[in-house]
A and B are shown apart, each in its own frame.
Chain A
Amino acid sequence: QKEVEQNSGPLSVPEGAIASLNCTYSDRGSQSFFWYRQYSGKSPELIMSIYSNGDKEDGRFTAQLNKASQYVSLLIRDSQPSDSATYLCAVILTNFGNEKLTFGTGTRLTIIP
């Protein structure tokens, strides 16, 4: 079973609409969850972190976490062409007391003007 799983896309969303990105993870003990944005040829950039069940909002971004379902999502409201990028879900996975930030394969998002 893949540790962090995302739909690779591409996901195309019209400008101004809501983009919804989803992620599932395998480690039921995980407590820390992150969304990174990666433009082509660039490094991952942290845009959201979430640690508790429920929603966390930051500007146009909302992260949602459901630990019981092992599911984390990112909503982008009022999508802009500059939001076109690959979005990486990352989870702290535990392994016999050691923790590491593990990335999913990423979802490529394209905002259509």
Chain B
Amino acid sequence: EPEVTQTPSHQVTQMGQEVILRCVPISNHLYFYWYRQILGQKVEFLVSFYNNEISEKSEIFDDQFSVERPDGSNFTLKIRSTKLEDSAMYFCASSEGPSWAEENTGELFFGEGSRLTVL
């Protein structure tokens, strides 16, 4: 069964360092997302991406964050200068159609997550 894959599964970094989290969405999916979940808290939307551009971003997604689809398969989240409060699980997701689309095609499928620990 097709799945979303994420690397690394766990990254430990020093405050102020740059981090890149990588995702390979399901191959026929066109819409890509990043969510994060701070330990013990809710899953929070960060950004959605379609047709090589950001379609929506949350207030969390400030200038230290960026996303890129550098080739036909990878979708990356870069955090430029990490802060302690960036420590969280970061989930990539993809969908065949937009989230508001007809039944089933807008359903999101999540990767296993990348746990980021900022020291």
Q: B-contacting residues of A (Cβ < 8 Å)?
A: 31-32, 34, 38, 42-46, 49, 51, 88, 92, 94-95, 98-106
B43 touches A94 (CB 8 A): no
B111 touches A43 (CB 8 A): yes
User: Which applies to chain B's interface (DSSP): helix, strand, loop or mixed?
Assistant: loop
A104 touches B45 (CB 8 A): no
> Residue B110 at the A interface, CB < 8 A?
yes
Q: A-contacting residues of B (Cβ < 8 Å)?
A: 33, 35, 41-45, 48, 55-56, 58, 91, 98-100, 103-104, 106-113
A103 touches B43 (CB 8 A): yes
19 contacts between A and B (CB under 8 A): A31-B100, A32-B99, A42-B112, A43-B112, A49-B103, A49-B104, A49-B107, A88-B42, A99-B98, A100-B56, A100-B58, A101-B33, A101-B45, A101-B99, A101-B108, A102-B45, A103-B35, A103-B44, A105-B41
User: Which applies to chain A's interface (DSSP): helix, strand, loop or mixed?
Assistant: strand
B103 touches A51 (CB 8 A): yes
Docked CA distance A95–B100 (Å): 12
List chain B residues, Cβ under 8 A from A44: 43, 91, 110
